[in-house]
Structure 1
Amino acid sequence: MPSHRETRHLPFRPDQMYDLVADVGRYAEFLPWVIATRVKSDSPTEMVADMVVGFKQLREKFTSLVRKVPGEKIEVEYLDGPLKNLENVWQFASDGQGGCTVDFYVAFTFKNRLFESLAGQYFDRAFRKMVSAFETRAAELYGSSSSSAASAAS
Structure 2
Amino acid sequence: MFDLVADVDKYPEFLPWVVATRVRHDSETEMTADMLVGFKSLREKFTSKVEKTRPHTINVHYVDGPLRDLDNNWTFRALDEDRCEIDFCVDFAFKNLLFEKMAGQYIDRAFRKMVTAFEARAEELYGNNSSSAQSVA
Please report the TM-score for the alignment, with normalisation by the length of structure 1. 0.79
Report percent identity of matched pairs. 64
**Alpha-carbon distance in structure 2 between the residues aligned to 1:27 and 1:75:** 16
Tell me which of 26, 33, 37 is aligned to 1:49: 33
SS at 2:122 equivalent: helix
Contact 1:67 1:76 in 2 (8 A): yes
**Alpha-carbon distance in structure 1 between the residues aligned to 2:89 and 2:112:** 11
Superposition map of 1:1-154 within 5 A: 17-96=1-80, 98-144=82-128
**Alpha-carbon distance in structure 1 between the residues aligned to 2:105 and 2:69:** 19
| Greater relative CO, 1 or 2 (CA 8 Å, sep 6+) | 1
Per the TM alignment, residue 55 of structure 1 is displaced from its structure 2 partner at its CA by 1.2
**Alpha-carbon distance in structure 2 between the residues aligned to 1:45 and 1:97:** 24
Per the TM alignment, residue 113 of structure 1 is displaced from its structure 2 partner at its CA by 3.2
Q: Runs ≥4 in structure 1, deviation > 3 angstroms?
A: none
* RMSD of Structure 2 on Structure 1 (CA): 1.3
User: How many aligned positions are there?
Assistant: 129
Q: Which runs of 5+ in 2 are unaligned?
A: 130-137
Per the TM alignment, residue 119 of structure 1 is displaced from its structure 2 partner at its CA by 2.3
SS at 2:33 equivalent: strand
Per the TM alignment, residue 116 of structure 1 is displaced from its structure 2 partner at its CA by 1.6
